[in-house]
Structures are given as C-alpha cells and as structure tokens.
A and B are shown apart, each in its own frame.
Chain A
C-alpha cells in the first residue's frame, strides 16, 4: 500500500463548476500538507499548504485536512479553463529526521469552456 493515495482521474468539469480533489494517507506522522499544481512539462507550483488539521482558504481555493481520518481535500470554486492541470497532494513529517515530500500520483483536471 502506498503512503499517499490519490485518484488519478481524469476529471472533466464545465467552467464554473466546483472541483473536489482528495488524498488519503497512512502515515500518522505527517504534519505538513501541500497541494501543488503542475502544468504539462512544467515543475510543480505550490498552491496551498496547511499544518495539521483544519481549513485554509486562498481566493478560489480551499484546503482541508482531517488528521483523524487521514484525509485531505482541495476545493476549487468557479473553476476556469486555466485551472486545467495535474493536481498533486504532498506531505511531510516536518521536524522529523527528514523533510522529504511524499507525493500522491496526481489528479488530471480538465475544465471545459
């Protein structure tokens, strides 16, 4: 079993839709949770990061972490064609012996105009 599981999609939605992206994980030591967006043939771009459980909002993006369920989510409101990309969740054991990121396999999102 992988440490981080993510539905690979692809996910296709109409412009303006609300998008929900999710990851589950098995390592209870994860403390930092991140969402990256990766366009084709580009590097991952940080969208959101949260520490421990809770919600964080930034514009059209909301990140949620539920440590009791080992489940994280990213919501995109009023989705735009420019949001079409692969979304990667990533986690780390901040403060442990290493701070390497463990990634999900990414969800490919297509927002149709």
Chain B
C-alpha cells in the first residue's frame, strides 16, 4: 500500500494481559521502525528492522516486549503481561532507504 497501516487503532487490556500490535509498511520499503509516544509527546524509539532482520533493538525493554517482521506478513509488536505504564500510542514508521520515515496513524494502547 501507499501508507503505513497500523491495526488496531485502539486496544484495551487489563493489567497482565498480552497485547499485540500490527504494522504493514509502505510497499517497497525495507525498513520498519517502532516508536512509543507517551505523555507530553515524548517519542521513544523501540526497535527497527531491515526486512525480517532486526536492525537496531537498543530501545526495546529487556522484558515483556518482542517484535517480528516476517515475509509476507504485517510486522508485529507484542507486549506480554502488560503494565499500566505501557499505556501509550505505539507508532510504526517505514522507510525505503533510511532517509525519510513515514508514520502510520498509531495504535493507542490503554492498560487498565
């Protein structure tokens, strides 16, 4: 497609439940980035992929967070045993050759 597609738009989970977010990059883009936006517009980089390979995972929390980009499937970001502080908007961005990143509309995760 011609835009980054993120699903679902809004996800509500009870504390301790699993959350899984999906991202379909722009067709032809090799790079996928995940960011977390919390209060006051703070964007935090989580992880990036080059095709199905992890490119940079320096922002990923060591526990509970995992991500994948498999061939012919949307990329996914999974949070095991969600905590209240995981409540945020999670953005996916894709890039053709690492210059410009185009963002999706985000998934708003609410952990109750």
The judgment on whether A and B are partners is: yes
Chain A residues proximal to chain B, CB less than 8 Å: 8, 32, 34, 36, 38, 41-46, 49, 86, 88, 90, 94, 97-103, 105-106
Chain A residues near B45 (CB-CB < 8 A)? 100-102
Selected from A41, A46, A98, the residue in CB contact (under 8 A) with B48 is A98
> Considering the chains assembled together, what is the distance between the CA atoms of A105 and B106 in angstroms?
17
Selected from B31, B40, B104, the residue in CB contact (under 8 A) with A43 is B104
Number of interface residues of B (CB under 8 A): 28
**Sampled A-B contacts (28; CB under 8 Å):** A8-B40, A8-B41, A32-B99, A34-B100, A38-B41, A41-B108, A42-B105, A42-B106, A43-B103, A43-B104, A44-B91, A45-B103, A46-B101, A46-B102, A88-B43, A90-B43, A98-B48, A98-B55, A98-B58, A100-B33, A101-B33, A101-B35, A101-B45, A101-B93, A101-B101, A103-B41, A105-B41, A106-B41
Chain B residues near A45 (CB-CB < 8 A)? 103
Interface-centre pick from B6, B43, B55, B98 (highest chain A CB count, 10 A): B43
Please report the number of residue pairs spanning A and B whose Cβ atoms sit closer than 8 angstroms. Answer: 61
Q: How near does chain A come to B92, taking the closest CB pair, in angstroms?
A: 9
Chain B residues near A101 (CB-CB < 8 A)? 33, 35, 43, 45, 93, 101
List B residues 64-94 near A (Cβ within 8 Å). 91, 93
Chain B residues near A100 (CB-CB < 8 A)? 33, 45, 48, 56, 58-59
Interchain CB contact under 8 A, A49 and B56: no
> Considering the chains assembled together, what is the distance between the CA atoms of A88 and B104 in angstroms?
15
Interchain CB contact under 8 A, A105 and B42: yes
Residue of B nearest to A101 (CB): B101
Q: How near does chain A come to B53, taking the closest CB pair, in angstroms?
A: 14
Residue of A nearest to B44 (CB): A103
Selected from B35, B43, B56, B103, the residue in CB contact (under 8 A) with A98 is B56
